[in-house]
Structures are given as C-alpha cells and as structure tokens.
Amino acid sequence: MDAVAEKAALNQTPAQAALNLSLIQGEIVSTTNAIDVGQLAVLAGRIHRAERVFLAGAGRSGLVLRMAAMRLMHLGLTVHVAGDTTTPAITSGDLLVVASGSGTTAGVVKAAETAIAAGADVAAVTTNPESPLAGLADALVIIPAAQKTDHGSSLSRQYSGSLFEQSLFLATEAVFQTLWENTDEPAEQLWLRHANLE
C-alpha cells in the first residue's frame, strides 16, 4: 500500500469507529429500555434479604458478575463468586445470582441446581424465558438481546452475545444503585471497603 492509500485508509477509521460506537449505544439503549424494571426491583429485593449472595456465570457474563460482586461487597454485603478458592458452601438463606444469555450454559445450570438442592434461592438473568435456567429461578430478569449463537439476529449487529453482556452490566449497576440509594451510606463509607491490597 502506498503512502496516499494508507493515509486514506487511516482517515476512514475515525468515521467507522464513530458509526460503530453509535450502533452499540443505540442497541444498548433499545435493549435496556425493554428490560422489565419490576424484575430488576425484585432482584434488588432478593439480594437485600439474602444472608449471603453468591454469583456464578461463565465467560464474559461471569466477568460482568464479578464486577457486580465487587459493587455488592462495597455495600457491605457478604458476597462470594462461585469457583473462587475461598467460596464456602451455599445453604438455606443464601441467594445465587446466575447469568447466561442462552440459559443453557451447563456449568451455570448445574450451579443453580446445586443451590436449590442446598436450600438456597436462585435469581437468573437470561435472554430466554423458556430456558432450563429460567425454569430453575425464583426471580428472573429477561434481557431481550440476541443469544451468542444467533449470528443472523435482527436484534443486534454485534458479535456473539456482546449486547447481552453489555446490558447485563447496566442491569447489575441499576440493581446496585437501587440498593445503595436505600441506605444512608455516603460513597466515602463504601470506599473504605474497597480492596487495599492491589
């Protein structure tokens, strides 16, 4: 590629990035606007009443739930991420929060089954209200996004579940914000719980 052609190609990049940023923002707004906020309120209530909160998800959904776990810890809740070496056994009075776009992720469904067998409650976030995971849930949040294997979806032009994971992040942030606004703790108090061994 000669210098002129290379410069022309590079000049297209900002415009393409702007278009894609706009695309992603639009999809997120459209999808999160369609979430039933009553379902989010129920999830917030379940988290508030639980003795301990456990979170389980695979892949990028699991990473989003790890971020949610940190925020819940900042509120002073007892929070554990499934699979961590220090995570104790789940039991009655506890809540397991799980996320799977398809609602069929084997490890996540198995975690929900184990929690139920131990007497804990399960809250699930998924795109599929007919999925095995949804069927196990005591509380359910439906995010109307494309599943990661639905490559021809009219719901999203993004790749492989990105819209679900982005919307999951915003949904968990809304739950955190709701819980925080129902306390009298200032941000400075929450910050005292932030990790100091970084």
Which residues share a beta bridge with 55?
A: 81, 97
Orientation of helix 162-181 relative to helix 3-33, angle to 10° = 50
Give the amino acid at 138. D
H-type alpha helices, 92-161: 106-117, 132-136
- Specify whether 165 is catalytic: yes
Q: How far apart are CA 54 and CA 98, in angstroms?
A: 8
Q: How far apart are CA 186 and CA 134, in angstroms?
A: 35
- Which of 6, 27, 130, 165 is flagged as catalytic? 165
Orientation of helix 59-74 relative to helix 162-181, angle to 10° = 10
Q: Contact 87/66 with Cβ under 8 angstroms?
A: no
Residue 104 exposure: Cα atoms within 13 Å on the Cβ side: 7
Closest by alpha carbon to 169, among 21, 46, 24? 24
Residues involved in catalysis: 165
